Chain A
Amino acid sequence: MTGYEWIIPVILTVITAATPLVFAGIGELVTEKSGVLNLGIEGMMLVGAVTAFVTATVTGNYFLAVIAAAGAGAFMAFLFGILTLSLMANQVATGLALTLFGVGISALIGQDFVGQPVQAIPKVDIAGLSDLPVVGQILFGQDPLVYLSFIMAIGVSWFLYKTKAGLILRAVGDSHDSAHSIGYSVVTIRYLAVMFGGAMSGIGGAYLSLIYTPMWAENMTSGRGWIALALIVFATWKPSLVIVGAYMFGGITILQLHAQAAGFDVPSQILSMLPYVATIVVLVIISKDESRIRKHAPACIGKIFHPAS
């Protein structure tokens, strides 16, 4: 193995870059499967990030910090739900509003915490196996949230395709009128899906401010919420592919960081563009085949539901 030791730290950093995207992506996937397009991920992640950071600094309790971030994200999503589900506002415009509001409110909450350090959430050591050569730290020595992200992804996949509740949720997303006419409460189901998405985005934000870069800075998500949205299209609404996409984007982010550190003779700004350019390229490749998108996208996505009375 000599000569390849550098690859382990690279893989470890890819995991930390990918995990917030897994959370946000999986959450938004459930939201979109129920037929709602929430463009406010960036705002919910920011509010989650600041809530987690403030809670962790004040109480020193990471568990509480992550729960608080999930709660704050879910609350933001609840606001989105009131507007789009109860008051039938345009989902695109409301999602944008949620992001703009989230940027403002998170900056306000976090203003006294800018530049303060916080201890990153410690990594675990499952069954004492993290000392195993090569795979030890990668498989058994991550922070708890990395494992949670995989549990959530598998859980969501199981929920959507193996349970009755998941079937109902998908039915609501594909034909809200039919689901309504056989007696399901479209609005309630969508509220739950939207709030789950918010909670996941909140945890994704918490990961950024407690682990990826343990600090708070205004706008620290720098577009990750939007990249998560692109991930769903990339994944053609499949949970397993959301993970693949998240790790791909994590890889690109880390690649450019390592390239900068290695002193490549390319301006750092060009390298920093890579994740954004890659997002565009991937979107183009996937969207090119219009029929494939139409086949997988929930049919009612973005449409307003008003029960005919």
Chain B
Amino acid sequence: MLLKIEKRPEASQLMVYATPIFALILTILTGSFLFHFLGVDPVEGLRNFFIKPIDNTYGATELLVKATPLILCAIGLSVGFRANVWNIGAEGQLTMGAIFGGGVFVYFHDVDSVFLLPMMIVMGAIGGALWAAIPAFLKTRFNANEILTSLMLVYVALLVLSLLVHGSWRDPDGFNFPESRLFSDSATMPILIEGTRLHFGTIIALFAVLGTWIMLSKTLIGFQVKVIGAAPKAGGYAGFSQKKIIWFSLLFGGAMAGLAGVSEVSGPVGQLLPSISPGYGFTAIIVAFLGRLHPVGIIFAGLLMALTYLGGETAQINLGLPVAVTGVFQGMVLFYLLACDVLVNFRIRFTLFGRAAS
């Protein structure tokens, strides 16, 4: 008996929604082996990883706290990925958003105004968009590959942040630690549920998702993004400008990542530090794909990836597992998803002989 991969006449819509579930099941199965290999009872491991972190109210709100930056970054990336614009530098744009947004506080720290936080949020989005404008400019003007330029700029952005918090933005009363001042109340995201860390940034993320959904389904630019991505030539004949789409998707992705950055520093982090994100910008790539580049899918995928962060922490505390397990789980999900995606465009046939009678 032989396996044969045959192209489907049309992409299977069922499989589009089924493969993320297959990927999840395969990840959990492989994860069980991984736990066993690390000397932990698989059932106990999975329970600590996927259930325990969210079996209480505080845990559930923490899930939203972690999902917020992931969803914001992923929603921005998804627009680019749809148009075949491979911005993988969301981590850098997030960092730049934190710098611009946090910078507003550093310079106006003695101002106690209701306009401070909105100003920070706007500057955060601008910072992220400006950082993403560099690969957009280099791509449209000089044809430089945006994958490489946007990624190189991640390292540059992290060094800029390090430079600032080690230098002129360091808290003058901070015993020389490389940290900015703690953000004041008027520079901090309002808390949504007393006693938790759930903050206004989550609302911003929800509006971003809703806005992107409307933009993709109802506006001309959303239509152009989809056409250029699916059929660049058709887009060309229709007179859609490829360059415009590159600029748009990078600026949009950068602004979303910038929002994520400022909502982190004025939310759970509360100040500027040399390291403000455990790789949200990179994990967001997984979120975007797992969510099928669709706004609603991205919410679910964002929650799931947020759970892997919490699960890693819980497993570390309760079972003594290394926190790196989180990264392995995240990588596995994407691997399996890409593998299962073959079922969307192809079907697998078992044949008794080498060639199936067609």
Contact = CB atoms under 8 A, between A and B. Distances in A.
Q: Is the interface of B mostly helix, strand, loop or mixed?
A: helix
Interface residues of B, number: 48
A269 B338 contact: no
A287 B144 contact: yes
B282 interface: yes
Size category of the A interface is 35 or more
Given A287-B145, A288-B142, A105 B152 contact: no
Interface stretch (A81-89, A177-185, A191-199): A81-89
B75 to A, nearest CB: 17
Interface in B298-350: 322, 324-332, 334-335, 338-339, 341-342, 345-346
Contacts of A229: 148
A272 B6 CA distance: 50
Contact of B338 (A39, A90, A108, A306): A90
B341 A89 contact: yes
A97 B331 contact: yes
Contacts of A283: 138, 144-145, 148-149
B6 A107 contact: no
Given A108-B324, A267-B167, A82 B330 contact: no
A39 to B, nearest CB: 7
Q: Is the interface of A mostly helix, strand, loop or mixed?
A: helix
B339 A111 contact: no
Interface stretch (A120-128, A141-149, A157-165, A274-282): A274-282
Given A93-B338, A101-B332, A280-B152, A290 B163 contact: no
Nearest to A304: B345
A306 B149 contact: no
Contacts of A226: 148, 151-152
A276 B152 contact: yes
Contacts of A309: 6, 355
Nearest to B164: A269
A284 interface: yes
Given A101-B332, A101-B335, A89 B153 contact: no
B109 interface: no
B215 to A, nearest CB: 23
A97 B152 contact: no
B152 A269 contact: no
B338 A290 contact: no
A259 interface: no
A118 interface: no
A129 interface: no
A273 interface: yes
Interface string A232-276: 010000000000000000000000000000000001011011001
Nearest to A270: B163
A82 B334 CA distance: 14
A79 B332 CA distance: 11
Given A105-B324, A230-B148, 10 more contacts: A92-B86, A96-B334, A101-B334, A105-B328, A105-B331, A107-B324, A270-B159, A276-B155, A277-B152, A287-B142
30 contacts: A87-B339, A87-B342, A89-B339, A92-B86, A93-B334, A93-B338, A97-B286, A97-B331, A97-B338, A101-B331, A101-B332, A101-B335, A104-B326, A104-B329, A104-B330, A104-B331, A108-B328, A223-B151, A223-B155, A229-B148, A230-B145, A230-B148, A267-B163, A269-B160, A270-B163, A277-B156, A283-B148, A284-B142, A288-B143, A290-B143
